[in-house]
């Protein structure tokens, strides 16, 4: 059930997301002073608020847990089971590729960058910082879920659902910075890489499923060129 989008628009957004991610990776690898300065300044502002307020830490930690990659994969698993019952093969493949594959992308990207977590982290996290796995995961999952729901939404509901999706992604990113477990640039990189990975998955599936076959399986799969 691909959102109606032209191939040219898809390519443009892929290029933009890839460019943003590569620039951030280069900046982090090169220890660019302006990025370190901006990251550290924002982290200090949030640390001043949260360091002595248990409620602050608890709230943002709850947001991180409820919208964590693991929690989103559990939701996706539920949708996959429902799709198997309905014999919607494409939905199963789509979610396995997007939500199921996002963890491998995160692990590979973190291994490549190897950026340490901020020293001011308010909770314990074990993996490296760049990019944010939470930001990447919520981006992929939200886009995947909205893509599946979009054809079934009343037109009046589409904009509100899209807004809720964007707010959810922003909220998770804010939570990771508020807890000082990620630099702001880690979060932006996570959003960019998540968008890039999701759009590449869409591009693969567009080529993989013939239009005639897509119409037979589910008419919502057909998208415009």
Q: How many CA atoms lie within 13 A of 63 on its CB side?
A: 20
216: confidence class by pLDDT, cuts 50, 70, 90: very low
pTM, entire model: 0.87
Among 145, 154, 109, 152, smallest CA distance to 128 is for 109
Does some domain include residue 140? yes
User: Measured between alpha carbons, how far is residue 131 from residues 61, 65, 99 in Å?
Assistant: 18, 18, 17
pLDDT at residue number 68: 95
Domain that holds residue 59: 7-221
Give the CA radius of gyration of the chain.
18
Q: What number is the average pLDDT over the span 182-187?
A: 97
pLDDT in tens, 54-86: 888 999 999 999 999 999 999 999 999 999 999
pLDDT value of position 208: 61
User: What's the pLDDT tens digit per position in 13-55?
Assistant: 999 999 999 999 999 999 999 999 999 999 999 999 888 888 8
Question: Is the pLDDT confidence value at 176 over 90?
Answer: yes
Determine the Cα–Cα distance for residues 150 and 220; give it in Å rounded to an integer: 9
CB atoms under 10 Å from CB of 211, counted, come to 12
Q: What is the pLDDT of residues 132-168, one digit of tens each?
A: 999 999 999 999 999 999 888 899 999 999 999 999 9
- Give the pLDDT score at 126: 83
Instruction: Tell whether 2 is covered by a domain.
Output: no
Active site residues: 134, 182
Total domains present in the chain? 1
pLDDT digits (tens, 9 = 90+) for 104-127: 999 999 999 989 999 999 998 888
- pLDDT band at residue 4 under the 50/70/90 scheme: low
Residue 117 domain flag = yes
Residue 68 lies in a domain: yes
HEC string of 47-97? HHHHCCCHHHHHHHHHHHHHCCHHHHHHHHHHHHHHHHHCCCHHHHHHHHH
Give domain status of residue 1, yes or no: no
């Amino acid at each position: 059930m691909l959102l109606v989008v032209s191939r040219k628009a898809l390519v443009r957004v892929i290029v933009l997301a890839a460019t943003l991610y590569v620039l951030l990776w280069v900046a982090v690898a090169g220890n660019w002073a302006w990025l370190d300065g901006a990251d550290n300044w924002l982290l200090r502002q949030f640390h001043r608020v949260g360091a002595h307020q248990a409620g602050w830490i608890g709230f943002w930690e709850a947001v991180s847990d409820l919208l964590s990659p693991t929690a989103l994969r559990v939701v996706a698993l539920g949708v996959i089971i429902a799709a198997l019952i309905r014999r919607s093969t494409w939905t199963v493949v789509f979610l396995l590729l997007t939500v199921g594959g996002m963890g491998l992308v995160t692990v590979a990207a973190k291994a490549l960058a190897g950026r340490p977590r901020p020293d001011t982290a308010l909770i314990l996290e074990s993996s490296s910082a760049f990019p944010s796995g939470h930001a990447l995961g919520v981006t992929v999952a939200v886009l995947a879920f909205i893509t599946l729901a979009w054809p079934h939404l009343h037109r009046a509901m589409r904009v509100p659902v899209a807004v809720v999706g964007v707010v959810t992604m922003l909220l998770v990113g804010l939570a990771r910075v508020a807890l000082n477990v990620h630099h702001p640039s880690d979060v932006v990189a996570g959003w960019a890489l998540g968008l890039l990975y999701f759009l590449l998955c869409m591009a693969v599936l567009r080529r993989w499923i013939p239009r005639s076959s897509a119409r037979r399986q589910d008419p919502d799969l057909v998208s415009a060129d």
